[in-house]
């Protein structure tokens, strides 16, 4: 492994706790096999804390069921290292990589210690493909993980929670303290599992409109819907047609009410 120094610009906090790395790797492989994944993508492996136990675990899987490990890495030094041991590596910022490079052999499982600065953007990109990605094991800054697996009517429940949980079942796997990394971050971390739902909770015809509706409803989360949606004529009209209680706040809506609301948008 190359003797690489921490580069703050890349948001690098290298996982050094082998028990946590092993838990992530074992869970990723277990879910990948359960869902018949043909490939397993690791985003940002860095020095390989998770990569090495994944490789060891995959070696124990019979060839016919073994998913191919794919690496997406931004750090050029690590790109060359992982290419050097014969892995399929896609170099560059994951958010800029064409989907044709990393999503061309579905079903695809995903495992990653995500960079804090890009965690939300990366999971959003991945979560748009439940038809081809059945499962993920991802580490986030704890505050992001809380939002992903939040319960309705809690402070962490918001547009991201609704959007993700409409298609995904999200569960906490393990809490990760700063001391598990080098250098230690100033925040707590959490690993979650994300498994696609057989059916969405809300049937959505137009994903763009759905996302805009969620953002509009939660933009003024302390206001009643009829007040928070003022100026959003399309969504305000849908609220009136839907029969959903206009005095409710977005955080209090049930899945059935979200269905009625998006179904009333014209």
User: Cα-atom radius of gyration of the chain, to the nearest Å?
Assistant: 20
Q: What is the CATH number of domain 8-196?
A: 3.40.50.150
Residue 87 has pLDDT above 50, yes or no: yes
List, for residues 137-157, the tens digit of each pLDDT value.
999 999 999 999 999 999 999
Provide the whole-model pTM: 0.94
Window from 11-15, 140-144, 174-178 with minimum mean pLDDT: 11-15
Residue 183: is the preceding peptide bond cis (ω within 30°)? yes
**Mean pLDDT computed over 56-60:** 98
Can you give the pLDDT at residue 211? 98
CA distance 240 to 261: 9
List, for residues 210-230, the tens digit of each pLDDT value.
999 999 999 999 999 999 999
Can you give the pLDDT at residue 1? 57
**Mean pLDDT computed over 110-132:** 97
207-263 and 8-196 share a CATH fold: no
**Mean pLDDT computed over 117-128:** 97
For domain 207-263, give the fold.
Helicase, Ruva Protein; domain 3 (1.10.8)
Residue 188 has pLDDT above 60, yes or no: yes
Residue ranges per structural domain of the chain: 8-196, 207-263
List, for residues 29-47, the tens digit of each pLDDT value.
999 999 999 999 999 999 9
Residue 7 has pLDDT above 80, yes or no: no
Can you give the pLDDT at residue 13? 86
């Amino acid at each position: 492994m190359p003797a690489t120094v921490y580069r703050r610009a890349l948001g690098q906090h290298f996982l050094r706790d082998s028990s946590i790395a092993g838990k992530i790797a074992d869970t990723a492989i277990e879910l990948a096999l359960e869902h018949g994944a043909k490939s397993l993508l690791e985003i940002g492996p860095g020095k390989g804390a998770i990569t090495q136990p994944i490789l060891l675990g995959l070696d124990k899987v019979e060839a016919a069921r073994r998913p191919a490990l794919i690496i997406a890495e931004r750090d050029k030094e690590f790109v060359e290292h992982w290419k050097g041991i014969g892995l399929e590596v896609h170099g560059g910022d994951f958010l800029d990589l064409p989907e044709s490079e990393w999503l061309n052999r579905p079903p695809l499982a995903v495992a990653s210690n995500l960079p804090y600065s890009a965690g939300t953007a990366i999971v959003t990109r991945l979560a748009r493909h439940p038809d081809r990605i059945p499962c993920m094991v991802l580490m986030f800054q704890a505050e992001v993980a809380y939002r992903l697996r939040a319960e309705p009517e809690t402070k962490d429940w918001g547009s991201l929670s609704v959007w993700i949980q409409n298609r995904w079942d999200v569960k906490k796997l393990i809490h990760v303290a700063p001391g598990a990394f080098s250098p230690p971050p100033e925040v707590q971390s959490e690993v979650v599992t994300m498994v696609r739902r057989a059916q969405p909770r809300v049937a959505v015809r137009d994903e763009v409109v759905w996302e805009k509706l969620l953002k509009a409803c939660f933009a003024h989360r302390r206001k009643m819907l009829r007040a928070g949606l003022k100026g959003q004529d399309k969504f305000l009209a849908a609220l009136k047609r839907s029969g959903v209680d206009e005095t409710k706040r977005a955080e209090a809506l049930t899945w059935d009410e979200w269905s009625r609301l998006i179904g009333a948008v014209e």
